[in-house]
Structure formats: structure tokens, C-alpha cells
Amino acid sequence: MTEPRFVPLPPRHDPGIAPEEALRAFHETLRTRRSVRMFSDRSVSREVIEGIVTCAATAPSGANKQPWRFVCVSDPATKRQIRLAAEEEERAFYKRRANDEWLRDLAPLGTDEDKSYLEIAPWLVVVFKQVRTESGGQIYYADESVGISVGMFLVAAHVAGLVTLTHTPSPMKFLADLLGRPANERAFVLLPIGYPSDDCEVPEHALTRKPLDEIADFR
């Protein structure tokens, strides 16, 4: 057993404004984040992607196992392979796998099996979750942990002026195969990241957010 050791909580940088004001500003930042499917091919440096992954890796995780792995792909040939494999899965999804309710729910988003953005975006960040450690040890709350880190990734990308999409081609097994990932990892989400195209549009439908009284219950 490792004995616990504690250090004082480091002092936080003082925002210098009231929490209400800080939250109004932060909400304004978050509110303008959108899922984007129309990317520019404008390049993004590896350093910027590293900075975003470094932010995502500040997430809490079960027993601090940090079970996220970020595979960052800019190689055009690999992006093409991912696009072709994803489109194959999506064709099956739109033709057969999705039921009528799912297709009705997706209709206002205008999505289809064309995933050309997977080749146009300068980077595809494929997030894997570990279900076991490299040495076969246990992982706790893998979905929660990796989900939180992906949320932080999205916010970091937005703060950096970039756009992302949380893309989940289903099933995603092809990603582990294609990227040669070890047996203890499962694909979690595929995040194209870059700048929006000049003519970028986003679905109006996804603009709305439920009011606070519908999503929060104060006792």
C-alpha cells in the first residue's frame, strides 16, 4: 500500500471579478461553441494540438488512472483511410442500422454518409479509452473519465479559436484496427479539429438549449 501524502491546495489565480460576472463571460465563451462539419483545410500546428491535449489531460479520472489516449492524425493517407472506413459504416447506418425514430431525430441536422470533412480537417484526434492498463491492471469509471477529458478538449479547442466535431461512427472498432492500437483500448470518439470553412454553416436546430428550470432541480 502506498501511504497517502498531502500538499496544500495551491492558491488559485484570483479572477478579480465576482463569480456571477466571471460565469457570464465564460458562458458567452461556451455558448458560441458549435459542432462543425464544414472545415477549412487551413493547417494547425502540432504544438496547438499538443496544447489542447495537455488541457484535456487535466481532467479528473477514477483513481487518477488517466485512461485516455489521444491519437492525433494529420497524415493525409491515414485520414483518407479513416474517412473511407467511416463512410462505409455510415452507409450501413443510414441504410439499415438506424431505426425510423433515430433518422427522424437526425433529420434537422442534415447529416448523411458523406464524411469528406474527415479528409479536409487538418487533424483527426481519435480518443481511445483504456479498459485495462497497459500491464493489465484495473481502470475505474473509464467512460466518465474519458468523457470529462473530451469535454475539456472541446472547450480548449474553442478557446484556441478552433472548431471540432464529436463524431461517433458506429461501430468504431475499425479505428483501433486501422491505427494499430493495443487490445486494452477502445475507440471512444473521433474529433476532427481545425478552422471552419469560409462558407461554414451549422444547423439551426442545434442552437437551442433547454431552459434551466427543465434541466436543473434545486431543493
Contacting positions for ligand IYR (CB under 6 A): 90, 93, 106, 109, 111, 167-170
Nearer Cβ to ligand IYR (93/195) = 93
Q: Which is nearer to ligand IYR, 15 or 110 (CB)?
A: 110
At closest approach, how far in Å is the CB of 181 from ligand IYR?
Answer: 20
- Choice between 111 and 197, CB closer to ligand IYR: 111
Q: Supply the minimum distance, in Å, between the C-beta of residue 81 and ligand IYR.
A: 17
Please state whether the peptide bond connecting residue 171 to the residue before it is cis, i.e. omega within 30 degrees of 0.
Answer: yes
Looking at beta carbons only, is 113 or 176 nearer to ligand IYR?
Answer: 113
Q: What is the SS3 assignment for 162?
A: coil
Helix 46-56 to helix 142-159 angle, to the nearest 10 degrees?
140
Work out how close the CB of 122 gets to ligand IYR at its nearest, in angstroms, rounded to a whole number.
19
Shortest Cβ 83–ligand IYR spacing (Å): 12
57 or 109: CB nearest ligand IYR: 109
Kindly list the strands in the beta sheet with 68-73, ordered across the sheet, starting from the edge strand earlier in the chain.
68-73, 123-130, 185-194, 163-164
DSSP string, 32-92: T--B---B------HHHHHHHHHHHTTS--GGG---EEEEEE--HHHHHHHHHHHHHHHHH
Distance CA 153, CA 71 (A): 13
Single-letter code of the amino acid located at 161: G
Of residues 2 and 99, the one with the C-beta less far from ligand IYR: 99
Q: Using an 8 Å Cβ cutoff, are 141 and 61 in contact?
A: yes
- Contact (CB, 8 A) for 188 and 128: yes
Give least dist CB 124 to ligand IYR, A: 13
Please report how close the Cβ of residue 11 comes to ligand IYR at its closest, in angstroms.
41
Residue 48 makes CB contacts below 8 A (sequence gap 6+) with 160, 162
